[in-house]
């Protein structure tokens, strides 16, 4: 079982945050929310759930705990129990990374707003990926500290391509030239 120190160290040296967000309370119709995962279709998982992370956070962990490389995947609106997220974690773990999928939302993932964008403004991560960035604003892009990838869907009614272009424009105008894709 990984120690809190090891997890904290891993978070400080390399964290990739993958984030897919959608909010049922704001959008009456959402492509994401209309197609929830079947949590009973989990199948065989290489990792396990641990309860002893700092702050009393549960997490799905996989990969070699002794690895010097770590990846933290944050859940989408369906939480850290989503089967596809755990399959992705297992695939990354097989490549030698220690992977942590924390339940940052304490069992209530629908309360997320813009977790990854807020993390990108701190010194706690090195890279961030936003996928379907609900609630993220152009002003958020002006405050990120780390390279960022923004993945917007081609036909996304919640985060349309024009909004993603505005994010890209804000990043390109920065004097410090944060890398973005």
Q: What is the pLDDT of residue 8?
A: 39
Domain membership of residue 66 (yes or no) is yes
Q: Of 89, 107, 109, which is closest to residue 36 (Cα–Cα)?
A: 109
Domain membership of residue 144 (yes or no) is yes
Q: What is the pLDDT of residue 50?
A: 94
Q: What is the pLDDT of residue 111?
A: 58
Domain membership of residue 160 (yes or no) is yes
Domain membership of residue 63 (yes or no) is yes
Find the range with the poorest average confidence among 106-120, 127-141, 157-171. 106-120
Number of domains in the chain: 1
Q: What is the CATH number of the domain that holds 150?
A: 3.40.50.1820
Q: Of 106, 107, 156, which is closest to residue 130 (Cα–Cα)?
A: 156
Q: Is pLDDT at 21 greater than 50 in this prediction? A: no
pLDDT tens digits, residue range 30-74? 556 666 666 667 678 999 999 977 778 899 999 999 999 998 887
Q: Of 83, 141, 77, which is closest to residue 104 (Cα–Cα)?
A: 77
Do the beta carbons of residue 150 and residue 164 sit within 8 Å? yes
Domain membership of residue 179 (yes or no) is no
Domain membership of residue 181 (yes or no) is no
Q: What is the pLDDT of residue 66?
A: 96
Residue indicated by tokens 């894709």: 181
pLDDT tens digits, residue range 136-171? 889 998 898 888 888 777 777 778 888 888 988 998
Computed over every residue of the chain, the mean pLDDT equals: 75
Q: Which domain holds residue 29?
A: 4-172
Distance of CA 36 to the CA centre of its chain: 18
Do the beta carbons of residue 155 and residue 132 sit within 8 Å? no
Domain membership of residue 161 (yes or no) is yes
Domain membership of residue 94 (yes or no) is yes
């Amino acid at each position: 079982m990984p120690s809190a120190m090891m997890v904290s160290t891993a978070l400080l040296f390399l964290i990739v945050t993958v984030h897919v967000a959608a909010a049922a309370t704001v959008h009456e119709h959402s492509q994401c929310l209309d197609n929830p995962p079947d949590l009973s279709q989990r199948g065989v998982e290489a990792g396990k759930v641990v309860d002893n992370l700092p702050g009393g956070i549960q997490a799905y962990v996989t990969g070699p705990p002794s690895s010097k490389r770590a990846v933290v995947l944050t859940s989408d609106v369906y939480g850290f129990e989503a089967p596809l997220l755990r399959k992705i974690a297992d695939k990354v773990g097989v490549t030698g990374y220690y992977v942590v999928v924390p339940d940052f939302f304490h069992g209530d993932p629908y309360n997320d707003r813009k977790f990854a964008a807020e993390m990108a403004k701190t010194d706690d991560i090195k890279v961030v990926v936003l996928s379907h960035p609900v609630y993220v604003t152009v002003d958020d892009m002006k405050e990120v500290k780390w390279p960022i990838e923004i993945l917007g869907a081609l036909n996304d009614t919640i985060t349309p391509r024009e909004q993603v272009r505005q994010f890209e424009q804000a990043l390109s105008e920065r004097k410090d030239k944060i890398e973005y894709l």
